[in-house]
Amino acid sequence: MRIGILAVQGAFIEHEKILTSLGHECVELRQKSDITNIDGLVLPGGESTVQGKLLRDLDMFDDIKARIDDGIPVLATCAGLILLSEKISNDANTYFATLPVTVKRNAYGRQLGSFEQVADFAGIGPVKMTFIRAPYIEKANDNVNILATIDGNIVATKYKNQIGLAFHPELGDDIRIHQMFCDLM
């Protein structure tokens, strides 16, 4: 399978390394022409406002949104989750709005509020989760599967072919979430 990884800003190389180790070809999405012939899409962490602006400036936004609307499997982490969310409670902006959830940006505070925690992940078991200036999901529509929570806050969801995570699974040695994403393809 050929997986497109948004590479305009943020932490994408770690995703690429894991997916390559699982036997997939990865292409870094840096311009509109890179979006063709991909079987899956990774929206990595970074700064969602900057990513959203660059997606529009580089004329990539509409093509990526169309691919998501058409059902391409998506793994979205941290800022990627914000890009997918239908609503951002503490920001008037929205981006792809394909995941029917309400997200709170920087819900755990600034960089100094970063932390790691192990929690149960539906279908996988205990997973070490790394949160860096992370959002969390305040509300999910009834048709969204909640995959993990921490202290009552939703931190992982699945809706159709979209996996939205508030944390960074690419920063550890556990490849099970990436494998779950690959299984959607």
Q: Which CATH number does 2-184 carry?
A: 3.40.50.880
CA dist 100 and 116 (Å) reads 26
Query: What sign for the dihedral angle of Cα 54, 74, 182, 39?
Result: negative
pTM of this prediction exceeds 0.85: yes
- State whether the Cα torsion 86-88-93-95 is positive or negative: negative
Cβ-count burial of 53 within 10 angstroms (0-12 exposed, 13-18 middle, 19+ buried)? Answer: middle
Residues carrying an active site annotation? 78, 168, 170
Specify the 3-state DSSP secondary structure of 52. Answer: helix
Distance CA 122, CA 3 (A): 24
Per-residue confidence (pLDDT) for residue 114, from 0 to 100: 84
Q: Where are the domains of the chain?
A: 2-184
Distance of CA 60 to the CA centre of its chain: 17
- pLDDT tens for each residue of 30-82: 999 999 999 999 999 999 999 999 999 999 999 999 999 999 999 999 999 99
Residues (pLDDT < 70) of the chain are 109-113
Return d(Cα 23, Cα 161) in angstroms, integer. Answer: 20
